[in-house]
Amino acid sequence: MQRPDQDPKSHIADLAAFIEGSPSPFHAAAMASERLDRIGFIEIEESTAWPPQPGRYFLRRGGALVAWSTADGADPHAGFRIIGAHTDSPNLRLRPRPDHRSAGMAQLGVEIYGGVLLNSWLDRDLGLSGRVTLIGDGGQTENRLLHVNEPRLRVPQLAIHLDRSVTTDGLRLDPQRHLQPVWSSAQGEVPLFNEWLAQQFEVSSSAIGAWDLMAHDLTPPTRIGVDGSMFASGRLDNLLSCHAGLVALENSCADGFTSVPVLCLFDHEEVGSETASGAAGQLLPATLERICIASGLNRDEWFASLAASICVSADGAHATHPNWPERHEPDHLVLLDGGPVVKWNANARYGTDAPGAAHILALAEQLEIPMQAFVSRNDLPCGSTIGPITAAQLGITTIDIGVAQLSMHSARELTGVVDPARFATLLAAFLNCPTVLGER
């Protein structure tokens, strides 16, 4: 049997299962940890002394995960090969006091998380997922995951008869008033949200302490098109990259390493990364330093190790839209399944520079993987990634790369079926490549 990163069909099936099992960042971290556990990675706690290296380890912090191997020949003196991605996606997140009624209907109040394409959440069957913190009789707390994959919520759109201007002026949504999902139409008594939540965990409502919960679209990931050449799913940005990095680490362990491979799946990229589990925090720098300490390196050797390191910031890239080609830089056509995309920005919204890009492009050429380049128009703003943050935090060469997709930040996004496997293959080779970067 071919490995998932070599066979596009099996890779897409594996990606679909990973996305379905990861409706929230907390579930994505849990899914990744389960897979790592199966191949011999050991979960360690940040609050305890770390075991002496070598070994295969990972840690979790909320919806984030960092995994690495100092086994399989990997040596921290040779630096780190880091794949960074993020587990969060734009969505609707429940307020701390969500219960609301309007026009006789029970609703749940939500906040807009990240740069949501708001119209894409209308008229969809939505489930609920995330993390709930329970409080015990003695005041102790326990985190539990919630995954209700059944239609519990819906944001109904206004009928065209009540807003004829929608066809001429476009849809205009007020995020405070128009995005609150309906929960029940019953005129009688409807359970308060925390009472319903307590039923899901079979505890008393007083045991519900707090939650980090969100809505997710229930439409399953699927291949589409007359030839099945496209893949539609929620949360492709950025679970596709998380999955590619995970598969790369899984499949490269057997081949041995020179540098230390690191997979870092951050949370909160969509809202700026300035959290304890985000790329702007100390999660990755502290982990890398502790790896060096556990491996017996002194502080000078730790800084030397960073200087020998390189990071791939793995995140989705914009494909050229067939209906809006004028919104794209005309000399940089980006196609679905045209190959992984190196992302460039002169104003450092991406971390890519010439030495890093040349390193990846040379690796792709050896693998016979086609590559593409994305750059924004001068008259349009450019998004950003964890790339510039990681480069600034650690002072290491960073390259922004991703798989081309359409409908980015929609409740349901679109990509090709070939490039996800190519991307995982490229990332696996990146982890194993012994080549050291020259002068930066």
Of 25, 21, 69, 66, the residue nearest 45 (C-alpha): 66
Cis peptide before 119 (omega within 30 of 0): no
Pairwise CA distance, residues 235 & 269, whole Å: 13
Average per-residue pLDDT in the chain?
94
Confidence of residue 5 (pLDDT cuts 50, 70, 90): very low
Phi/psi-derived region of residue 170, left when phi > 0, alpha when psi is between -120 and 50, beta in every other case: left
Q: Quick check: 270 pLDDT over 60?
A: yes
Q: How confident is the model at residue 44 (pLDDT cuts 50, 70, 90)?
A: very high
Averaged pLDDT for residues 188-205:
94
Query: Domain locations in the chain?
Result: 8-89+234-432, 91-217
Q: Is the pLDDT of residue 255 over 80?
A: no
pLDDT tens, position by position, 208-239 = 999 999 999 999 999 999 999 999 999 999 99
Q: With cut-offs at 50, 70 and 90, classify the pLDDT of residue 3.
A: very low
- Residue 6 banded pLDDT, cuts 50, 70, 90: low
The pLDDT, as a whole number, for residue 14 is 97
What average pLDDT does this structure show over 322-334?
A: 96
Long-range interactions of 36-41: CB distance < 8 A, separation 24+ = 36/67, 36/246, 36/249, 36/250, 39/250, 39/253, 41/67, 41/69
The predicted pLDDT at position 156 comes to 96
CATH of the domain spanning 8-89+234-432: 3.40.630.10
pLDDT of res. 152: 96
| Same fold flag, 8-89+234-432 and 91-217 | no
Specify the pLDDT at position 25.
98
In three-state secondary structure terms, 302 is helix
Is the predicted pLDDT of residue 358 greater than 50, yes or no? yes
pLDDT digits (tens, 9 = 90+) for 400-426: 999 999 999 999 999 999 999 999 999
Has residue 440 got a pLDDT over 80?
no
Mean pLDDT along residues 362-386: 95
| Tokens found for residue 438 | 């020259």
Phi first, then psi: what are they for 142, rounded to 5°? Answer: -145, 130
In this predicted model, what pLDDT tens digit does every residue of 275-301 receive, in sequence order?
999 999 999 999 999 999 999 999 999
Check whether domain 91-217 has CATH 2.30.250.10, yes or no: yes
Q: How confident is the model at residue 437 (pLDDT cuts 50, 70, 90)?
A: low
pLDDT exceeds cutoff 90 at 53: no
